[in-house]
Structure 1
């Protein structure tokens, strides 16, 4: 059964830098051996995530790259995909785009902004996943 997990930004460090939560989620997935696809909103966000993942944990290298820069995309545990690059979905997705991913996956992680005014698209995606019959979970971060 596929599922969608919504992570509500709450802690000050995530409020200041929401992409840190994305790094945290990617690290947890990597620790469990799950190849992860991060669907970035745009090229600038993909590059910011790339930089953050390099510096995120000085003691723990998180193997990652932006899709399309190398032939070994499918071997990279954490792949960051800007919208202009078409990559196959993976069982685990972190979705940072305004629209829900189309296609087959087992689990999608959605990061919910701290600002209630910015949560509209997330509510729509919650209803979309509900209609698809996914198991829905919500976590305060």
Structure 2
């Protein structure tokens, strides 16, 4: 059964740098051997994530790239897609966009902003995933 995990940003560390949480989630996925697609909400966000994934510490290397940039994107464990790029879904999807993810995947991770006013669309998404029969989980980060 497919699953949707909602990660609520609550700690000061992730409040100041929400994309760090995305990097941590990508790292966990990579460690678990799960090919991951990150749906960024803009080209700028995709590039910021790309930079942050290079900056995870000396011991950490996560093979990643921005979709549409090169031919060998199948080899990247973590693929970051800007909205104007059509990237195939992977078993694990980290969704940073406003719309629920359509299509087939094993798990979708939704990052919930600390800002209460930004949580409305995520409540809608929770209901959409629920209606599609996904197993739902919530995590405070």
Normalising by the smaller structure, the TM-score range is over 0.9
Q: Following TM superposition, by how much is the alpha carbon of 1:14 offset from its aligned partner in structure 2, in angstroms?
A: 0.1
TM-score (norm 2): 0.98
Distance 1:66 1:129 in 2: 27
Gaps of 5+ in 2: none
Give the corresponding residue for 1:86. Answer: 86
Distance 2:137 2:36 in 1: 19
Give the corresponding residue for 1:96. Answer: 96
Give the corresponding residue for 1:140. Answer: 140
Give the corresponding residue for 1:6. Answer: 6
Q: Alignment partner of 1:68: what SS?
A: coil
Give the alignment of 1:22-101 within 5 angstroms: 22-101=22-101
TM-score (norm 1): 0.98
Q: Following TM superposition, by how much is the alpha carbon of 1:62 offset from its aligned partner in structure 2, in angstroms?
A: 1.0
Q: Following TM superposition, by how much is the alpha carbon of 1:64 offset from its aligned partner in structure 2, in angstroms?
A: 0.5
Distance 2:85 2:98 in 1: 16
Q: Following TM superposition, by how much is the alpha carbon of 1:57 offset from its aligned partner in structure 2, in angstroms?
A: 2.4
Distance 1:101 1:138 in 2: 17
Deviations 1:79-113 (A, max 9, x none): 00001000110010000000011111110000000
Q: Alignment partner of 1:93: what SS?
A: strand
CA-based RMSD of the aligned residues comes to: 0.6
Q: Following TM superposition, by how much is the alpha carbon of 1:58 offset from its aligned partner in structure 2, in angstroms?
A: 2.3
